[in-house]
Amino acid sequence: MVTFTIPQEIERFFEFTERSEFKKKILDCGAGGSKPKIAVFSERGYDAHGVEISDAQIERAQKYAKENNLNYKIVKADMRKLPFEDESFSFVYSYHSIMHITKAGTIKAIKEMLRVLKKGGLLYINFQSTDSTGLKWGNDIGDNEMLDFSEVDKHGFNDTFHSFYRDNEADDLFKGLNILHKGKTSFEYTYNDEKAKVSQLIISYKKIETTFTFMILIYRLLIV
């Protein structure tokens, strides 16, 4: 059994992937850490792969796999340049990771995710909302792109960079895809003894199989 609380959004994506008839092959972009979400899919029988840019985060995820007898594979790579063939995954997702990339970098990362995703495959991404009251450290170096030069990297990855998106700002990045779910959740957490509220925008998309596929749009706004 996975030993951490499985985020509701990961469970929802799993429900979508379970309904797909595609081979259960999945890619997690930004897959490292001590509570690796890829463990959820691996445990449930998926051929689970991940990319991760930080050695320290890869080590944490590998330790988790060993301790919990799981066999997902995480390679060191940048999600802006994925080391995989076109259309090699049925499902691709990125959880709490794209927020550490600039908006220009995010455009590249999403292009790459769509390149490696099969037509008809499913994509899930969450963005950090401009409604967040936390993590807004340092200087705004762009459009809601915060970088704190004074922070020492505490976790072995660049958690001192955060990008924040307005509600519909990311929509253009997914033109031509079917939206299966779009929502917004908020949760509170404590970081450095400071309480912060983080809002995330959640989008699941289906890459269209033909240009004549009908648009399915389910819009839900959820604030907890």
Ligand X SMILES: C[S@@+](CC[C@H](N)C(=O)[O-])C[C@H]1O[C@@H](n2cnc3c(N)ncnc32)[C@H](O)[C@@H]1O
In the complex, what is the shortest distance from the CB of residue 222 to ligand X, in angstroms, rounded to a whole number? 20
- Closest-CA residue to 16 (of 36, 41, 39, 35): 41
8 Å CB contact between 82 and 98: no
Q: What is the DSSP string of 86-143?
A: TT-EEEEEE-S-GGGS-HHHHHHHHHHHHHHEEEEEEEEEEEEETT--SS--SEE-SS
Stretch that binds ligand X, among 33-41, 117-125, 180-188, 189-197 (CB under 6 A): 33-41
8 Å CB contact between 100 and 158: yes
Spatial separation of the C-alpha atoms in residues 102 and 156, rounded to whole Å: 18
Candidates 17, 37, 160, 170: give the one binding ligand X (CB under 6 A): 37
Cβ density class 145-182: b for 16+ within 10 Å, e for less: bbbeeeeeeeeebebbbbbbbeeebbeebbeebbbbbb
Candidates 27, 53, 170, 203: give the one binding ligand X (CB under 6 A): 53
Does residue 184 touch ligand X according to CB under 6 A? no
Query: Between β-strands 194-207 and 89-94, what pairing exists: parallel, antiparallel or unpaired?
Result: unpaired
In the complex, what is the shortest distance from the CB of residue 199 to ligand X, in angstroms, rounded to a whole number? 16
Spatial separation of the C-alpha atoms in residues 224 and 185, rounded to whole Å: 6
Dihedral pair phi/psi, residue 171, rounded to 5° = -55, -40
Applying the rule CB under 6 A, the residues between 66 and 125 that interact with ligand X are 78-80, 95-97, 100-101
Candidates 12, 24, 35, 197: give the one binding ligand X (CB under 6 A): 35
Does residue 162 touch ligand X according to CB under 6 A? no
In the complex, what is the shortest distance from the CB of residue 86 to ligand X, in angstroms, rounded to a whole number? 19
Q: How many residues bind ligand X (CB under 6 A)?
A: 21
Stretch that binds ligand X, among 25-33, 124-132, 135-143, 184-192 (CB under 6 A): 25-33
Residue 153 vs 209, nearer CB to ligand X: 153
Candidates 157, 164, 165, 205: give the one binding ligand X (CB under 6 A): 157
Spatial separation of the C-alpha atoms in residues 9 and 26, rounded to whole Å: 16
Stretch that binds ligand X, among 32-40, 140-148, 181-189, 204-212 (CB under 6 A): 32-40
Does residue 52 touch ligand X according to CB under 6 A? yes
Does residue 136 touch ligand X according to CB under 6 A? no
- Chain positions contacting ligand X, by CB under 6 A: 30-33, 35-37, 51-54, 57, 78-80, 95-97, 100-101, 157
